[in-house]
Amino acid sequence: MFAITKKRPERGVWDNEVAEAPPPGFGEVRIGVAKAGICGTDYHIYSWDPWSAGRVRPPLTMGHEFVGQVDAVGAGVGHIEIGDRVSCESHIACGHCGQCRTGRAHLCANTQIIGVDRAGCFTEAITVPAVNVWKVHPDIPNHHAAVFDPVGNAMHTATAIGVTGRDVLIVGAGSIGLFAIAIARAHGARSITVQEPNSYRAELAGEIGADLVLDPGDLDAMARWRERPTEWRPDAVLEMSGHGPAINAALKDARNGADVSLLGLAPGPVEINLSEDVIMRGLTLHGITGRRMFETWYEVEAFMLQAPDLMDKVVTHVMPAREYAKGFQLMDQGACGKIVLDFASMQGRAA
């Protein structure tokens, strides 16, 4: 099978011929991949930053957000049939630990992530546990269904603290930040301020529904924003950048008593002034990982059905899978929202 892989432990990504996806074992299904999104995580692996160098063991088929059609069903699977159009939760939890058994499988310490810890979806077919599979609503098109997973990250970051009626600050408008703008708008935020240095993404942020987009490098604009009355300071912060100085600034800019939802992964430890910026000001920090299984998936389904126009604005590129190098190049330049790769048409299947 054609596959987009991390072949060697260095910067880059390569295509490769890999063995066929194995036939599904007990409780598993095999899915013919139709479309797959390139995630920030894939970009980390492409860049071979310290996080990916410490975790990923090449050679590895990359990718973890996708949609496709079930082409084989293993023994013991009763609820999924050949031909079902499905997406997939990329975190494979163990199912038997205390977290899994108390409805918190996104916090399972035994989690394996598709395309990080085991073979990913940037290929023609993938075999996964049936419990991870999500049947896609017939009204959601494939170029949206391919990105259930990252929209779920944005949704989980927003719903963990709640954004309805609140003054929301979104730090970083990569694709998950862009999805978060759309979600905050759809959930009735009072105001949405976005901080993003990249001009392409800043413009997209405005089109998607941000009330104010600030370039953190524009010190005059930032100073003017900080002069606003305290009751207009953000009380719901969605941190998507993983950038230490931006995290510190966001804590200082937040209103007393604000909730801060942290999704962006910093490349190393981040120093914060816990006493001054968190404790004395009554902030609540929430670490966000993955998606709630499967509450978040129901929320994302509802959002995709209600806001296909906003989804279309964030998914800026759909390109043939063989042109993946161009996709990673666009991410390098920050000249894209979400990029979706098409694997179906190269196999002569419906996209």
- Give me the half-sphere count of Cα atoms (radius 13 Å) on the Cβ side of residue 181: 31
Least distance CB 95 / Zn ion (angstroms): 6
Which of 5, 41, 61, 296 is the catalytic position?
41
Spatial neighbors of 269 by CB under 8 A, at least 6 apart, are none
Q: How far is CA 116 from CA 53, 213, 282, in A?
A: 11, 33, 37
Supply the minimum distance, in Å, between the C-beta of residue 26 and Zn ion: 19
Interface ranges with Zn ion (CB under 5 A): 93-94, 97, 100, 108, 110
Q: Is 41 a catalytic residue?
A: yes
Dist. CA 130–CA 156, nearest whole Å: 22
Q: Is 193 a known active-site residue?
A: no
CB of 98 to Zn ion, least distance (A): 8
Q: Of 5, 14, 24, which is closest to residue 63 (Cα–Cα)?
A: 5
- C-beta of residue 218 within 8 angstroms of C-beta of residue 207: no
CB-wise, 128 or 169, nearer to Zn ion?
128
Q: Would you say 45 or 100 has its CB closer to Zn ion?
A: 100
Query: Which residue lies nearer to Zn ion by CB, 240 or 293?
Result: 293
Q: Among 5, 44, 123, 187, which one carries the catalytic annotation?
A: 44
Q: Point out the residue whose Cβ comes nearest to Zn ion.
A: 108
- Cα 241 from Cα 222, distance rounded (Å): 17
Q: Which is nearer to Zn ion, 47 or 99 (CB)?
A: 99
Least distance from C-beta 94 to Zn ion, angstroms? 4
Cβ 309 vs Cβ 286: under 8 Å:
no
Q: Minimum Å distance from CB 112 to Zn ion?
A: 10
Give the shortest CB-21-to-Zn ion separation in angstroms. 24
Residue placing its CB nearer to Zn ion in the complex, 97 or 346: 97
Nearest to 190, CA basis, from 211, 159, 214, 161: 211
User: CA dist 123 to 3, 94, 346, Å?
Assistant: 4, 25, 11
Instruction: Using alpha carbons only, give the angle 342, 206, 240 rounded to the nearest 5 degrees.
Output: 70
Between 67 and 114, whose beta carbon lies closer to Zn ion?
114
The C-alpha atoms of residue 260 and residue 53 are separated, in whole angstroms, by 29
Neighbouring residues of 219: CB distance < 8 A, sequence distance ≥ 6? none
> Any idea which residues carry the catalytic annotation?
41, 44
